[in-house]
């Protein structure tokens, strides 16, 4: 990690920076809980790291030279408790006797009330707050109410609705939005990554083979001029599904359809934006249906989308 790791390097998140600059310059005003919320790939985790390093820095500048910054850079800072992120694994309350590591009872008994070693503040970070179990969340609520002055929590989540209102009411929520395309393109170029405009304002990469993206682009880019073109697109999508029956967990047919929706939105936004708004709204409804997690409705949702887009193309 570079010694230059400042808050000012956060790009495209002006609303979040208002909060981060205020609390980094006046850490005595830190509330018991900060919730960094917003879509995947918008820099929440990196912002948390930059913010914590700045606040814990002995010089108060994220200097990169003090004992706190050096410990942070070596990922050995004793005043940071960063819960591990394991996909779909809940954070439990823990056993009454001898609770397991990184459970809430373990946190309360072995970390929460002990004074920091190097800095004035200890941070407890939960990188996906939606994984906190019900019992654990109830126990955590009490800890938030009675948190010692030297301990502060940071939750990260993509959706505030997944947290209890009693938790949110005790927090300051720091919003992250999708990044402007110019910033996404610049960041991709700096990191020698392939920039794909359809990805939108997220740095979260598509988890699929590059040739799949190329095929979707070829089928959509400039090729949807009449209703028959949409029927051909649907036939190709369904044939592609039949040719790949063993979809991977990290790239499912639903993910494939999600990508098709993103490329459609890109296509409609390139030309005749105002006249294409009804089509874009239809795609957004389609994507919303995809994420309702109702098993087996993908083909039906796709057919409804193609039918609606074909009708709109006739007008």
Pair (22, 135) in one structural domain: yes
Alpha carbons 93 and 72: distance in angstroms, whole number:
28
Position 193 in a domain = no
Q: What is the pLDDT of residues 148-187, one digit of tens each?
A: 999 999 999 998 988 888 899 999 999 999 888 889 888 8
Q: Is the pLDDT of residue 295 over 80?
A: no
Shared-domain flag, residues 19 and 92: yes
Residue owning tokens 């598509």: 206
162 and 210 fall within a common domain: no
pTM of the model: 0.79
CB atoms within 10 A of CB 184: 23
User: Do the domain assignments include residue 188?
Assistant: no
DSSP state of 64: S
Both 162 and 13 in a single domain?
A: yes
Residue 191 within a domain: no
Task: Kindly state whether residue 87 falls inside one of the protein's structural domains.
Answer: yes
**How many Å from the N-terminal Cα to the C-terminal Cα in the chain?**
55
Residue 268's domain comprises 206-313
- Could you tell me which of 124, 125, 135 has the C-alpha nearest to residue 93? 135
Mean pLDDT to the nearest integer, 175-203? 83
Angle at 184 between CA 41 and CA 11, to 5 degrees: 80
What is the total count of domains within the chain? 2
The DSSP secondary structure of 128-167, one letter per residue, reads -GGGB-HHHHHHHHHHHHT--TTEEEEEEES-GGGS-HHH
pLDDT surpasses 70 at 1? no
Band of residue 144 on the pLDDT scale cut at 50, 70, 90: confident
136 and 233 together in one domain: no
Do the strands 33-37 and 171-175 form a parallel or antiparallel pair, or are they unpaired? parallel
pLDDT over 60 at 3, yes or no? no
Query: Using H for helix, E for strand and C for coil, what is the string for 243-272?
Result: HCCCCECCECHHHHHHHHHHHHHHHHHHCC
In a shared domain, residues 130 and 265 = no
Query: Is 141 contained in some domain?
Result: yes
More confident residue, 290 or 61: 61
165/159 Cα distance (integer angstroms): 12
| 123 domain residue, yes or no | yes
Which residue, of 134, 164, 179, is where some domain finishes? 179
Q: Give the pLDDT band of residue 51 (cuts 50, 70, 90).
A: very high
Co-location of 141 and 254 in the same domain: no
- Look at residues 164, 179, 194 and tell me which one is the last residue of a structural domain: 179
In a domain, 185, yes or no: no
Burial of 304 (0-12, 13-18, 19+ CB in 10 A): middle
142 with 25, same domain: the answer is: yes
Q: Within this chain, do residues 162 and 283 fall inside the same structural domain, yes or no?
A: no
Average pLDDT in the 73-85 region?
Answer: 95
Tell me, what's the pLDDT at 206?
A: 67
CATH of the domain at 87: 3.40.50.300
Specify whether 150 is located in the same domain as 214: no
* Domain final position from 144, 179, 214: 179
Give the residue-averaged pLDDT of 91-103: 93
Shared domain for 147 and 212, answered yes or no, is no
- Is pLDDT above 80 for 315? no
Mean pLDDT, rounded, for 112-120: 92
Cα–Cα distance list, 315 to 183, 227, 295, 310 (Å): 36, 10, 33, 9
162 lies in the same domain as 238: no
**95 domain-assigned:** yes
| 33: β partners | 153, 171
6 CB burial (10 A radius; 0-12, 13-18, 19+): middle
312: closest CA among 269, 266, 281?
281
pLDDT at 293: 63
Q: By percentage, how much of the chain surpasses pLDDT 90?
A: 55
Q: What pLDDT, on the 0 to 100 scale, is given for residue 172?
A: 96
The whole-number pLDDT of residue 254 equals 84
């Amino acid at each position: 990690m570079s010694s230059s790791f400042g808050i000012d390097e956060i790009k495209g998140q002006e609303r979040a920076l208002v909060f981060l600059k205020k609390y980094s310059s006046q850490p005595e005003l830190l509330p018991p809980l900060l919730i960094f919320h917003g879509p995947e790939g918008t820099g929440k985790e990196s912002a948390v790291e930059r913010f914590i390093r700045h606040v814990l820095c002995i010089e108060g500048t994220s200097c990169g030279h003090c004992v706190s910054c050096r410990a942070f850079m070596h990922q050995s800072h004793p005043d940071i408790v960063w819960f591990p992120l394991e996909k779909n694994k809940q954070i439990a309350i823990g056993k009454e006797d001898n609770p397991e590591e990184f459970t809430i009872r373990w946190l309360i008994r072995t970390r929460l009330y002990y004074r920091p070693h190097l800095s004035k503040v200890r941070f407890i970070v939960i990188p996906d707050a939606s994984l906190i179990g019900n019992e654990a969340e109830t126990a955590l609520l009490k800890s938030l109410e009675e948190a010692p002055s030297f301990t502060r929590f940071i939750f990260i989540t993509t959706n505030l609705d997944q947290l209890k209102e009693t938790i949110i009411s005790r927090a300051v929520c720091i919003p992250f939005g999708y990044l402007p395309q110019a910033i996404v393109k610049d960041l991709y170029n700096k990191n020698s990554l392939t920039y794909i405009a359809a990805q939108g304002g997220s740095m979260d990469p598509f988890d699929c083979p590059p040739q799949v993206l190329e095929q979707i682009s070829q089928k959509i880019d400039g090729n949807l001029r009449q209703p028959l073109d949409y029927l051909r697109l649907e036939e190709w999508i369904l044939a592609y599904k039949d040719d790949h029956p063993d979809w991977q967990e990290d790239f499912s047919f639903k993910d494939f359809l999600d990508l098709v929706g993103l490329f459609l939105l890109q296509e409609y936004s390139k030309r005749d934006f105002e006249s294409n708004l009804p089509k874009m709204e239809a795609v957004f409804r389609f994507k919303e249906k995809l994420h309702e997690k109702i098993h087996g409705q993908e083909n039906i949702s796709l057919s409804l989308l193609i039918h609606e887009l074909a009708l709109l193309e006739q007008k």
